[in-house]
Amino acid sequence: MTNMQGNILIQGASRGIGLAMVEQLLESPDVELVIATSRDPEGSDALTELRGRANGRLVLVPMDVTDDGSIARCAETVRGHTDSLDGVINTAGILHDAERGLGPEKRIEQLDPGALEASFRVNAFGPMLMGKHFFALLRHKRPAFFASLSARVGSIEDNHLGGWYSYRASKAAQNQFTRTFAVEAARRARSLRVLALHPGTTDTDLSAPFQRNVPEGKLFSTAFVAERLLDVIANTDVSDSGSFLDWDHQSIPW
């Protein structure tokens, strides 16, 4: 069980790691309110079932992270429930575009402007615009966090294999945003820590087409990863703001 507390918003909660985080936060007695968002949270049977058992502690709010107006409307709805948040976790991310039959690029000739733009809009612009609209709700005297799920492959220093251009580059942009936001938070919101997290390879829709080569024991369940990442967040403080940490609390080079 996580030792999180207060009011927490999970962006990208309809499935995958975000959904498992919602489940675990609801099990924690010190968490008062969980706000779960995705493009269509009412369309997620898992979320509506959880809400039915949550005694008013789970609120579902639609939000498309590629749409600035949608994020603004979500923040306004959140203000109708609470005047401050203790944490925001961005989980939404895309690696392949199944609808358009596009996978991550292996060769430079495969770069497609539409796929590049889609990756940047979700993986990079999403957390940035979340920061813009949720900063005011996180800026208070209690300790608070803004955490984004990044990926080790977004590390520039750690890139020895190449490929996956749009995913790597959009996560690297997200990482630069995390550092930049952490610097501003240190000046303007001294109790707010800003973190980038790597979950490890996790059994979700996102990783499904790429699980064949994952070594035995290295494909994590969403429950395991959610528990580990919530624990990592809970065991950080403002002195860790601006860090890139993996599920095992190990630092990753930017």
Binding footprint of ligand NAP on the chain (CB under 6 A): 12-18, 38-40, 63-66, 91-94, 122, 149, 151, 199, 201-202, 204-207
Q: What angle do CA 95, 97, 103 make, to 5 degrees?
A: 65
Least CB distance from residue 43 to ligand NAP, whole Å? 7
* Other C-beta atoms lying within 10 Å of the C-beta of residue 152: 17
CA gap 100, 215 in Å, rounded: 29
Residue number, 91 or 178, with CB nearest to ligand NAP = 91
Radius of gyration of the chain (CA): 17
Residue number, 7 or 148, with CB nearest to ligand NAP = 148
Least CB distance from residue 201 to ligand NAP, whole Å? 4
Residue number, 143 or 224, with CB nearest to ligand NAP = 224
Residue number, 16 or 242, with CB nearest to ligand NAP = 16
Question: Helices then strands (H, E): number in the chain?
Answer: 7, 7
74-to-36, 51, 176, 182, 191 alpha-carbon distances in Å? 10, 18, 25, 23, 23
Asked if 71 and 133 count as a contact pair (C-beta separation under 8 A), the reply is: yes
Least CB distance from residue 49 to ligand NAP, whole Å? 15
Q: Is 41 exposed, middle or buried, given 0-12, 13-18 or 19+ CB atoms closer than 10 A?
A: buried
Least CB distance from residue 80 to ligand NAP, whole Å? 20
Residue number, 93 or 242, with CB nearest to ligand NAP = 93
Could you identify the residue written with the tokens 């889609």?
Answer: 118
Least CB distance from residue 37 to ligand NAP, whole Å? 7
Least CB distance from residue 132 to ligand NAP, whole Å? 15
Residue number, 8 or 63, with CB nearest to ligand NAP = 63
* Other C-beta atoms lying within 10 Å of the C-beta of residue 176: 16
